[in-house]
Amino acid sequence: MPSCLAMDSVHLLLVHRLPMQFQTLRLLIAYWEHPSSIKKANSCSASRRTKEKNGHFPMLHRTVQKPHAGVRLETFENTGVLPSLSDLFKMTHATSDGVFVDPASEKLFRTVAGRIEERETLLTQESPDGLPVTLSTKEVDRIFEEVAPKKKGRIVGIGSVNEVARTTS
């Protein structure tokens, strides 16, 4: 990263006379104008626009800078129940009115929801009392893990939850 010393003497003189905010701004400008920074930014930008092997762009999400594990923990703190991976996926990839941010996310969610419904229907039919059966969070998570694609050994669509404990029940 270029430093203040790398600037010419006129810039150096100006930087020392400006308030700290402007010094920081000048350093940031110098950093982003540096060829290595431009190269890295262009590489990252190209990566975001690159299609996956299956022809789809990477899945979008709505959490901005909040990690998926943080969303899951926040939901647990608010409700007292740890959301399933399927619920977490919907929270992070669909708007509040249920519209998914991209077709790949909607397709994955619908596939998982269909598998969950099939399993619950089967268990209800096998139930001796005939009462509807609801799968546990652990069982729903297992179905999500089976259905969701993997990339570099990680489940796609659940972000930082890959690194933390998933279920307690």
Q: Is residue 168 part of a domain?
A: no
Q: Does residue 62 sit in helix, strand or coil?
A: coil
pTM exceeds 0.85: no
Q: Is residue 54 part of a domain?
A: no
Rounded CA-CA distance 147/155 in Å is: 10
My answer on whether 25 and 84 are in the same domain is no
My answer on whether 72 and 28 are in the same domain is no
Relative orientation angle of helices 103-126 and 137-147, to the nearest 10 degrees: 130
My answer on whether 34 and 102 are in the same domain is no
Q: How many domains does the chain contain in total? A: 2
pLDDT tens digits for the chain (169 residues)?
A: 444 444 455 555 555 555 666 777 778 888 888 899 888 888 877 766 666 666 655 666 666 567 778 888 888 899 998 889 999 889 888 888 888 888 888 999 999 999 999 999 999 999 889 899 999 999 999 999 999 988 878 888 887 676 655 554 4
CA dihedral 75, 80, 86, 92 (to 10 degrees): 0
- Quick one: tokens of 42? 């262009």
My answer on whether 74 and 150 are in the same domain is yes
Print the domain residue range for 21.
4-48
Q: Is residue 63 part of a domain?
A: no
DSSP letter, residue 66: S
CA neighbours closer than 13 Å in the CB half-sphere of residue 114:
8
